[in-house]
A and B are shown apart, each in its own frame.
Chain A
Amino acid sequence: MKLRQISVFVENRTGRVAEVATLLRDGNINIRAVTLADTHDFGIVRLIVNNVDEALKILRDNKFTALDTEVVALEIPDAPGSLCRVLDLLGKENVNVEYLYGFVERSGEKAILIFRFEDADHAVKVIQANGLRILSGEELYKL
């Protein structure tokens, strides 16, 4: 039910994120989703890719600090209020979200939300009990 996301530590220096992208390109890694969390000094690049192990190896071989983190992907309708509904539901069940990002797969049809939960197992139960669809790793890596 959970899928693997790569998190990479990058300093706030010009071109540093580009280097991550270049390394992945050279390794023929396809990025499915990407987001950058930034602070004054550093950023964390979060990536969903088609080949997690290979991507991690490439990054670590090139002296990047990279982690393999478990996240949960959720499919929601691409319509006003969808995000709101999901968050309300999670809130009511006391599911704490560490962070989330989303993208639209096909306009007007589906959107995908990627969540990092404090307690992923609990979150998955709540989501399933409410009949929402969780995407498997395979589905997402192959998008």
Chain B
Amino acid sequence: MIWNPEMECMPIGERRALQFYRLRNAIRRAYEKIPCYRKKFDEYGIKPYDIKHLSDISQLPFTTKDDLRQNYPFGMFAVPMKQIVRVHSSSGTTGKPVVVGYTKEDIDIWAETMARTICCGGGTSDDIIQIAYGYGLFTGGLGVHYGAEKVGATVVPISGGNTNRQVMIMQDFQVTMLACTPSYSLYIAEVMEEMGVDPASLKLRAGIFGAEPWSDQMRKEIEKRLKCKAIDIYGLSEIIGPGVASECEEQNCLHVFDDHFYPEIINPATGAPLPPGEKGELVFTCLTKAAFPVIRFRTRDLSCLHAEPCPCGRTHIRMERITGRTDDMLIIRGVNVFPSQIEEVLFQTQGVEPHYLIIVDKRGALDELTVQVEVEEKIFSDEVRRLEELQDRIQKQIESILGIGARIQLVEPKTIERSMGKAKRVLDRRLQNGA
């Protein structure tokens, strides 16, 4: 089912006209209401009415996470506090959090795009949706919640954590859809196995998973172990929260709800716009948001846009799944390394569990890369030789893909910390060692 065929299947030409109309309004509002934008635009010598075509958007200055932080907490709000009905905040894992505000209408837009997301994943008013994203300042829980209610589904607002109970409720309430981070879904699968619950006995049909980058191999693993379709969803609190883009049941790139959030891809080093099909950093402009209208926000997420139509009938531009973040990128001995590359190697190395930790150390002047991999029974052997072969195989593949050596450390199962939210895959110890 398509939630809003009029908007989601709108002919491209019409949508471009709508986008341009909305863009002009958004820019004018930002310029008039937010001092930070007025200052930025003036420095660039640009006025809102200089934007005469959609493509002129590339003349506008970027907004960075730093801009948002410097205006902590409410400096980027375009409406008086009286009109703000809710605030959320980013996790602040990489520094001071960013506080975002919503008007009543913004919450409605959010529910609308999340309703689209749920329908993209095959959800309808018949579904029972277990929301295991955290509720609270994090946008995941409440974002999905309002969308699910809008669709008319039955919401189980369980939030993250207490995994045994998650499994019990999934069984007892006959839950059909699960919403959480992909890494948490695998942890749920693990607990399910420990509890002796057969996933095939559940009613679970689909999961909408997001809030962290994940690979296609991880999707296969989730689908195999939870016996449900795994749909990649995308969003970020600076734009609205979850509901910015979603895969449909074709599972071929994510539809960006571009009547509300206008995407661009830029070269992260130069800021130059890149054409569809080229990989770079995702940049979003909020076309309709009243309270927190960011212009050309640099997400630091790496992706690629595709303009070709999707067989599902939606005409939105599509983005590829996030392959990494510009700030996730590790520079090891001068080589750019993304955790997702290592994850792919591990999934391809037959039988290796998805639980891993990348550790970076500095020995003298040299960076050292260690990858801890949990040894499950299915890959364990009583012969040292076979385990060493496994280490070698992973090591060689990492070397052939990244061009640098890594030490593969086999560790006991369940020794790497499980995450209820975003998985922590990297431990960079170079700074704390005073390097």
Contacts and interface: CB of A to CB of B under 8 A. Distances in A.
Interface of A: 5, 7, 9-11, 37, 39, 41-42, 44, 46, 63-67, 69, 98-99, 116
A67 B379 CA distance: 10
Interface in B358-414: 375-377, 380-385, 387-388, 409-414
B383 A98 contact: yes
Contacts of A64: 412
Contact of A65 (B375, B383, B384, B409): B375
Q: What bracket does the count of chain B residues touching chain A fall in?
A: 10 to 19
Given A9-B375, A39-B388, A42-B387, A65 B413 contact: yes
Interface string B401-435: 00000000111111100000000000000000000
Nearest to B384: A37
Q: DSSP class of A's interface residues: helix, strand, loop or mixed?
A: strand
Contacts of A116: 382-383
Contacts of B413: 63, 65
Contacts of A69: 382
Nearest to A99: B383
Given A39-B388, A99-B383, A116-B382, A67 B377 contact: yes
9 contacts: A11-B410, A44-B382, A44-B383, A44-B387, A63-B414, A64-B412, A65-B376, A67-B381, A116-B383
Q: DSSP class of B's interface residues: helix, strand, loop or mixed?
A: loop
Nearest to B388: A39
Contacts of B384: 37, 39, 44, 99
Given A65-B375, A67-B377, A67-B382, 8 more contacts: A7-B381, A9-B375, A11-B411, A39-B384, A42-B387, A63-B413, A65-B377, A116-B383
Given A42-B410, A65-B377, A7 B415 contact: no
Contacts of A65: 375-377, 380, 412-413
10 nearest CB pairs, A to B: A7-B382, A69-B382, A65-B380, A41-B409, A37-B384, A63-B414, A65-B377, A9-B380, A11-B412, A9-B375
Contacts of A9: 375, 380, 410, 412
Given A39-B388, A65-B376, A46 B382 contact: yes
Contacts of A41: 409-411
Given A9-B375, A39-B388, A42-B387, A63 B412 contact: yes
Contacts of B385: 98
